[in-house]
Amino acid sequence: MKITIYDVAEKAGVSISTVSKVLNNQQVGKKSKEKVLSAMNELKYKPSVLASALTGKRTSTIGFLLPDIANPFIAEMARQVEDRAHERGYNLVICSTDFRSEKEEHYVSLLRQKSVDGFIFAGGFKNRNVVMELLKENVPVILLAAEPHPNLTVNTVTVDNFVGGYEIANYLISQGHKNIAVIAEDATSSQERIRGYKQAMQDHSLFVQDEHIMICNSSVEHAQKLTEAILDTPNPPTAIIGANDLLAIGILIGAREKNLVIPQDLSITGFDNTLLSKCCDPTLTTVDQPIQSMCSQAVNILLAEIEGKHNTRQKILVLPKLIIRNSTCEVY
Amino acid sequence: MKITIYDVAEKAGVSISTVSKVLNNQQVGKKSKEKVLSAMNELKYKPSVLASALTGKRTSTIGFLLPDIANPFIAEMARQVEDRAHERGYNLVICSTDFRSEKEEHYVSLLRQKSVDGFIFAGGFKNRNVVMELLKENVPVILLAAEPHPNLTVNTVTVDNFVGGYEIANYLISQGHKNIAVIAEDATSSQERIRGYKQAMQDHSLFVQDEHIMICNSSVEHAQKLTEAILDTPNPPTAIIGANDLLAIGILIGAREKNLVIPQDLSITGFDNTLLSKCCDPTLTTVDQPIQSMCSQAVNILLAEIEGKHNTRQKILVLPKLIIRNSTCEVY
DNA sequence: CTGAAAGCGCTAACAT
DNA sequence: ATGTTAGCGCTTTCAG
């Protein structure tokens, strides 16, 4: 029932290899080409990607590994990447890994069996070994908004998280805050953000209390819990930095639970400039990542490698932008 | 390079068909099986899904069409569906269609060339023809949180949008509102929600003004614009129903722009009970869709059809739940 | 410029 | 229980 290249060939009165040639637009006589084309139309022929991939062609699908597609920042990236990839004829198969090593490994293995053409790791990952393995076997890979582990020579597009962390802390300090806490995920990009924060504190001779750097899973609830806990401390911070907008929302809710008025009683900042940061009240001071440009560059680099043009690996670091909104103010 | 079934066969000292048999665990002698298994391990053999699919097996990947993966409600569903599918060994390739007929058609055609095993249309779609076509050719399909067009006999799992619309309007009416507007997308599920709203109005002998039912694209900005416009009207509503949380956020922002205090000056409701509705301030009165149960049922039904068990089509209608929060109050 | 034929990695009769 | 062989639908030498 499925109609194949043979049907087209027969109808057009040529051989299958001629059909194949027009499919891949190689040299074919004008007449033959026309006959083939119209046969294809009449039969509504659609070539099988499976068969063509089996002979060494691409599948035109790429594996998109991310911590959690339900995370708004990730989802926004997914949309951008999807659109850019689709413009070039590629589809995305998404896999949420929850930062779990086994999941990453499992998904990569599965997708390789399905012969995806390459991988994008977006928003962070845990298992550097799977990446190294991929690299070793020359499978195209790129990290997007995910900090490359230092000794991993892999294509990367990321915002400068260190600068982002620095700027947001610096801003808070300029507003008179001296006692600033951080709530962050256990992810490499958060680590960079924290490093930036520490640097800023140090540059202003401020003391960083270790208990004020809290590691949190990715849930709003956990951030809220941690916030309530630290607010009950004898010497609570006057500002809390959330390592992403989602966590900042958790902080917001926690603070509200403690009857604090934001930002008067507590300044709160996020990171990523997601929809969330614009919708909550007060709107969040946060750090913008230029998602569009990052995603389009990532897709370009990956596809260039897949399509065999060019091949020099690169790390692209884009600059973040501080977005000041209403969740922060001068300390009283 | 790539190691195949031949390599395994050779190493194990058996024929490829024996290897194939253990792969698909069919009857194989205990000894042979062991030899094959250990050969596979040593060689780190991974069967090619392409090749196996080419001979008529499944690809174990399913097409997931949705309006926009960046939409929080959709993204939450995507996560659930992904997890349920993955438990059964399936992957998802996502395609954002923006409710565009051509995109739906194009993606479906592309994915069929890639031999996906079935399709999920989540959160709405436009082009009923592509669905009908799929149905006609016996491709497994299911609609998830997408209203089936009346004469489309397709598997469906959806919340009862009519009831949802009715309940939220009814609640508003019980709070004394008589002048209630609606901002909705041009999607079938919104139409059902609107129908519910109209029914509630009618049941209370309230007049529905046509200008108070506004069609909006899916953006926060557009909802905001429409809100500001209607608020400038001579006889503005005392409550506005957003057909989903995203639109409700737009309404919220628009109202705030007009210096209204929510909910005292204007009650606002959403739909979907997304993260957004819990994070904004005031928190949104909305309607909960039992996403988890919907998604797991949808996956079950689709995979049952794919795997050829059973085959009776069904429409599952789950009940929505009104969630009363702080964006609504009695009319003054 | 066009066609015949081998082969991609695997499955499924059919033999043995 | 195991092996042989003919495809699945397409690409790609290699002849003609």
Q: How many CA atoms lie within 13 A of B37 on its CB side?
A: 10
Interface touch A115/B79, C-beta < 8 Å? no
Nucleotide nearest to A16 (CA to C1'): C3
The nucleotides of chain D lying under 7 Å from a protein CB are 1-5, 7-13
CA distance linking residue A113 with residue A259, whole number of Å: 54
Q: What is the pLDDT of residue A64?
A: 98
Could you tell me if B303 and B318 are in contact, meaning their C-beta atoms sit under 8 angstroms apart?
Answer: no
- pLDDT > 90: percent of chain B: 88
Q: Which residues contact A273 (CB under 8 A, 6 or more apart)?
A: A245, A286, A287, A288, A289, A323
Residues forming beta bridges with residue A157, ordered by sequence position: A144, A316
CA distance linking residue B59 with residue B118, whole number of Å: 10
Q: Give the closest of B61, B70, B113 to A75, CB-based.
A: B70
Q: What is the pLDDT of residue A149?
A: 80
The string of DSSP codes covering A85-116 is: HHHTT-EEEEEE-TT-HHHHHHHHHHHHHTT-
pLDDT band at B262 (very low <50, low <70, confident <90, very high): very high
Could you tell me if A155 and A125 are in contact, meaning their C-beta atoms sit under 8 angstroms apart?
Answer: no
Q: Give the closest of B47, B72, B93 to A91, CB-based.
A: B93
pLDDT 10s digits, B224-253: 999 999 999 999 999 999 999 999 999 999
pLDDT 10s digits, B45-90: 999 999 999 999 999 999 999 999 999 999 999 999 999 999 999 9
CA distance linking residue A92 with residue B95, whole number of Å: 8
Q: What is the pLDDT of residue A213?
A: 96
CA of residue B18 to C1' of nucleotide C11, angstroms: 11
Interface touch B94/A94, C-beta < 8 Å? yes
Q: What is the pLDDT of residue A310?
A: 72
pLDDT 10s digits, B33-45: 999 999 999 999 9
Q: What are phi and psi of A32, to 5 degrees?
A: -55, -45
Could you tell me if A263 and A282 are in contact, meaning their C-beta atoms sit under 8 angstroms apart?
Answer: yes
Q: What is the pLDDT of residue B135?
A: 95
Query: Residue at minimal CA–C1' distance from D8?
Result: B55
Q: What does the DSSP 8-state code read for residue A78?
A: H
Q: Which residues of chain A have pLDDT under 50?
A: none
pLDDT 10s digits, B267-308: 999 999 998 998 888 999 999 999 999 999 999 999 999 998
Q: Is B3 in CB contact (< 8 Å) with chain A?
A: no
CA distance linking residue B153 with residue B159, whole number of Å: 17
Interface touch B96/A83, C-beta < 8 Å? yes
What is the reported pTM? 0.94
Which residues 2-21 in chain B have a CB closer than 7 A to strand C? 2, 4-6, 16-17, 20
Three-state DSSP state, B235: coil
Tell how strand B91-96 and strand A91-96 pair up.
antiparallel
Between these two residues, B189 and A298, which has the higher pLDDT value? Answer: A298
Q: What is the pLDDT of residue A151?
A: 82
Report residue A235 as tokens.
Answer: 């010497």
The string of DSSP codes covering B250-300 is: HHHHHHHHTTPPTTTT-EEE-SB--HHHHHBSSPPBEEE--HHHHHHHHHH
